Amino acid sequence: MARKARSKNMILYHGSDVVVKEPKLGFSNRNLDFGKGFYTTSLKEQALRWAKRKAVLNAKSTAFVSVFQADFSSNDLRVLDFSNDLESWIDFVCECRSGSQIYENFDIIIGKVADDKVFKVVDMYKDKIWDKNRALKEIKVYETYDQIAFVSQKALDFCLKFDGSFEVEL
């Protein structure tokens, strides 16, 4: 399952209610899809949505998208890329959202983004109310959205270089 990232160099975006010039892992405080990490996307539109959502959740009047140049050329990084493998993806997401630290076996994790009903599907599958086939039928992913989670400080330090930011209209 571990594979190299699809492209050696690319632009990544991070939506938030603050500008992030130097990403650190310490700010992630929830068990997300790929565990605790610094989440980015290759899609500006998606980062805009994340920034607005974060600002609303934190009752902030401003939102920002931080832009990074990403360099995936290191052979020392452990990259897990789910691409279109939803079967492995759902198992991994269930483990991470249940508090497992399986994500710590990797430096970078790449995959799809599920809609807001992912919590229900994960719970039904995790509690064995639904089997994997039913869960996969119920889960809805945004086909064009992606998430690239940097789950080690080593990956953040090596791969991401701040390239600027811009304010998002709320």
Angle (deg, nearest 10), helices 86-97 and 118-126? 90
| pLDDT at residue 116 in the model | 67
Radius of gyration of the chain (CA): 16
pLDDT for position 111: 93
> Coil, helix or strand for 23?
coil
Longest Cα–Cα distance in the chain:
46
pLDDT of the residue at 77: 94
Backbone angles phi, psi at 127, to 5 degrees: -85, 5
Model-level pTM? 0.88
pLDDT of residue 7: 60
DSSP state, 136? H
Tokens 């990074």, located at residue: 68
Beta strands in 9-158 (DSSP E): 9-16, 38-40, 63-71, 79-81, 108-114, 141-150
Q: What is the pLDDT of residues 46-67, one digit of tens each?
A: 999 999 999 999 999 999 999 9
Cα–Cα dist 146/13, whole Å: 11
Q: What is the pLDDT of residues 10-36, one digit of tens each?
A: 999 999 999 999 999 877 767 888 999
* DSSP per-residue codes, 31-43: --TTSSSEEEBS-
Residue 167's nearest CA partner among 15, 11, 12, 10 is 15
| Residue 155 to residue 149: CA distance in whole angstroms | 10
Q: Which pLDDT score is estimated for 29? A: 66
Residue 81: its pLDDT value, please? 94
Stretches in the chain below the pLDDT threshold 50? 1-5
